[in-house]
C-alpha cells in the first residue's frame, strides 16, 4: 500500500495542531515536515521546537526533510526533537556517508534527497546506507508547484537498480498523477494542498491507498 505523508507546509500555521490531527485521523501514514534555512532554498520554515511539539501530538511518524546547506550541525538537534525519518540532500556535499550513518545509529531512518536537476549518480554510492530516497518532483522551497515530468523516470531507474528501500516523491503529487508514480515504483507520496483542502480527506486518502500495488519498502 502506498504511504501518504501530508506536508505541514500546506497546513494552517494558526491551527497546526488541528490540521495535524485532521490528516492523521484521515489515515495519513507519516507527517512530512520541511525544514528550510533560507540558504539552501529561498524560504524559511520551522524550527526544532516545532518538531518537538509535533512529536507530542502526532500519532504518526515524523518525516523530517532538512533543506539546509549544513545539516550536519543539526542532526542531533532534530533527532532529539523526535524525527523518526531524517532526510538530508545529496547536493550539500561533505560527509554524506557519515551523516547517514549517524542518523541510523541514533535509531531513526536515514533519507537522502535529490533535486529534479540532480542525476541519480549522486545518490547511487549511498543506497545501502539509506532507508529512503526522496526524489524531489519540484524545485524545493515552496508548495503548490506542478510535478516535473522528468522525475518519474528516476523512480523507475532506482527500482531497476535494485533499490528496495522507500522511494518518496515530494511536490505536485495529486490523485490524478499518483497512479503513474506508483507504477514506476513509488512507495511514499508527500502531499500538501491536495490533502489539506480536500472536502473529504479521509475519503481521498482511502482512494490513494487503494492505488497501491503492494510493493514493500523498508
pLDDT at 217 > cutoff 60? no
Report if residue 215 sits inside a domain: no
29, 63, 131, 170: the active-site residue: 170
> For the chain, what is the domain count?
1
Distance of CA 168 to the CA centre of its chain: 6
C-alpha 65/C-alpha 111 separation (Å) is 8
Report if residue 173 sits inside a domain: yes
Report if residue 171 sits inside a domain: yes
Report if residue 216 sits inside a domain: no
19, 29, 34, 131: the active-site residue: 34
Report if residue 218 sits inside a domain: no
3-class secondary structure, 90: helix
pTM for this prediction: 0.93
Predicted confidence (pLDDT) per residue in 134-152, tens digit: 999 877 655 556 776 778 8
Is 34 annotated in the active site? yes
Across 37-58, b (16+ Cβ under 10 Å) vs e yields beebbeeebbebebbbbbbeeb
C-alpha 155/C-alpha 149 separation (Å) is 12
Predicted confidence (pLDDT) per residue in 3-50, tens digit: 999 999 999 999 999 999 999 999 999 999 999 998 888 889 999 999
Report if residue 199 sits inside a domain: yes
Is 29 annotated in the active site? no
C-alpha 23/C-alpha 201 separation (Å) is 7
C-alpha 173/C-alpha 57 separation (Å) is 26
Domain with residue 13: its CATH number is 3.20.20.70
Pull the grid cell for residue 166: 522507500
Q: HSE on the CB side for 72, CA within 13 Å?
A: 12
Report if residue 90 sits inside a domain: yes
Report if residue 217 sits inside a domain: no
Q: Smallest Cα–Cα separation from 196: which of 24, 1, 2?
A: 24
Predicted confidence (pLDDT) per residue in 76-97, tens digit: 999 999 999 999 999 998 899 9
Q: Mean pLDDT in the chain?
A: 92
pLDDT recorded at residue 214: 44
* Residue 94 structural domain: 3-210
Amino acid at each position: 500500500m502506498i504511504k501518504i505523508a501530508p506536508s505541514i507546509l500546506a497546513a494552517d500555521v494558526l491551527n497546526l495542531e488541528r490540521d495535524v490531527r485532521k490528516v492523521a485521523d484521515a489515515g495519513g501514514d507519516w507527517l512530512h515536515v520541511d525544514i528550510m534555512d533560507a540558504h539552501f532554498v529561498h524560504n524559511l520554515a520551522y524550527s526544532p521546537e516545532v518538531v518537538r511539539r509535533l512529536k507530542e501530538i502526532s500519532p504518526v511518524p515524523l518525516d523530517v526533510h532538512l533543506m539546509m546547506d549544513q545539516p550536519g550541525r543539526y542532526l542531533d538537534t532534530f533527532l532529539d526533537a523526535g524525527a523518526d525519518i531524517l532526510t538530508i540532500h545529496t547536493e550539500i556535499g561533505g560527509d554524506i556517508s557519515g551523516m547517514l550513518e549517524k542518523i541510523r545509529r541514533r535509531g531513526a531512518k536515514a533519507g537522502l534527497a535529490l533535486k529534479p536537476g540532480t542525476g541519480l549518480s549522486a545518490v547511487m554510492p549511498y543506497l545501502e546506507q539509506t532507508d529512503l530516497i526522496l526524489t524531489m518532483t519540484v524545485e524545493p522551497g515552496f508548495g503548490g508547484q506542478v510535478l516535473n515530468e522528468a522525475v518519474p523516470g528516476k523512480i523507475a531507474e532506482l527500482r531497476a537498480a535494485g533499490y528496495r528501500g522507500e522511494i518518496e516523491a515530494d511536490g505536485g503529487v495529486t490523485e490524478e498523477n499518483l497512479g503513474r508514480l506508483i507504477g514506476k515504483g513509488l512507495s511514499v507520496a508527500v502531499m500538501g494542498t491536495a490533502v489539506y483542502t480536500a472536502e473529504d480527506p479521509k475519503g481521498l486518502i482511502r482512494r490513494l491507498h487503494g492505488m497501491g500495488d503492494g510493493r514493500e519498502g523498508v
